[in-house]
Amino acid sequence: MLIPAKGVTLKSGKEVILKSPKPDDAQALLNHLKNVFNQSYQNMNHPKNNWENFPVEEEAKILTDFASSPSKFMISAFDGERIVGNLGCFGMGGEFLKFNARIGMGLDYDFHNVGLGTELLNYAIQKAKENKIHRLELTVRTFNEPGIALYEKTGFRRVGILKETAFIDEKFCDEYMYEMLIGQ
């Protein structure tokens, strides 16, 4: 599914465009993913170097697949040609679970704390709603204060704690599970 462009002004005064990345944006998206994983890998699900040698052609195929899928979308934040933030919304498989989706997101470090997380997430919630998603869920590590603040601010409810789910830098870490009912 492709999400149309929306311009937003951040607290810094900078304007960015939120929209789905297309296959032509594969290199810009990979550059962004390399940044986020380098800067914030403890908050993500793969190590720092996960995207280092990822072929741009493979990323373009992933974006082609997203564009034609009825059950998932990506929204990137574009500062000109550069992608500075990205969010994925993944519908769950299975007939009985088809109204659920899971969210994952990240921003380049120089775009933290200027309202971009809020804009990106609120736009995704609006688009998920328009596409008949009834329930959103996500997990966040218990040490990720900016993430927790963002999810609570946008209306997600903490459901509980998942113990020792991630193994990072030789230590097990806990995660909180959050959900939001958005359905009509």
Ligand X SMILES: CC(C)(COP(=O)(O)OP(=O)(O)OC[C@H]1O[C@@H](n2cnc3c(N)ncnc32)[C@H](O)[C@@H]1OP(=O)(O)O)[C@@H](O)C(=O)NCCC(=O)NCCS
Contact status: 159 vs ligand X (CB under 6 A): no
Given the complex with ligand X, which of 107 and 173 has the nearer CB atom? 107
Contact status: 114 vs ligand X (CB under 6 A): yes
Given the complex with ligand X, which of 91 and 117 has the nearer CB atom? 117
In this structure, how many other beta carbons lie within 10 angstroms of the beta carbon of residue 109? 13
Q: Looking at 40, 76, 86, 100, which residue binds ligand X (CB under 6 A)?
A: 40
* Closest CB 146 distance from ligand X, rounded Å: 3
Q: Looking at 43, 76, 86, 100, which residue binds ligand X (CB under 6 A)?
A: 43
**Cβ-contact 114, 11 below 8 angstroms:** yes
* Closest CB 10 distance from ligand X, rounded Å: 8
**Cβ-contact 33, 86 below 8 angstroms:** yes
Given the complex with ligand X, which of 23 and 104 has the nearer CB atom? 104
- Cα 24 from chain centroid (whole Å): 20
In this structure, how many other beta carbons lie within 10 angstroms of the beta carbon of residue 144? 18
Q: Name residue, tokens 């741009």.
A: 56
* Closest CB 95 distance from ligand X, rounded Å: 28
* Closest CB 140 distance from ligand X, rounded Å: 4
**Cβ-contact 82, 116 below 8 angstroms:** no
Q: Looking at 50, 71, 113, 165, which residue binds ligand X (CB under 6 A)?
A: 113
**Cβ-contact 2, 65 below 8 angstroms:** no
Instruction: Tell me how far apart the alpha carbons of residues 123 and 57 are, in angstroms, rounded to a whole number.
Output: 28
Question: Would the CA dihedral through 41, 42, 43, 44 be positive or negative?
Answer: positive
Contact status: 117 vs ligand X (CB under 6 A): yes
Residues lying near ligand X in the complex (CB under 6 A) are found at 36, 40, 43, 105-107, 112-118, 140, 144-147, 149-150, 153
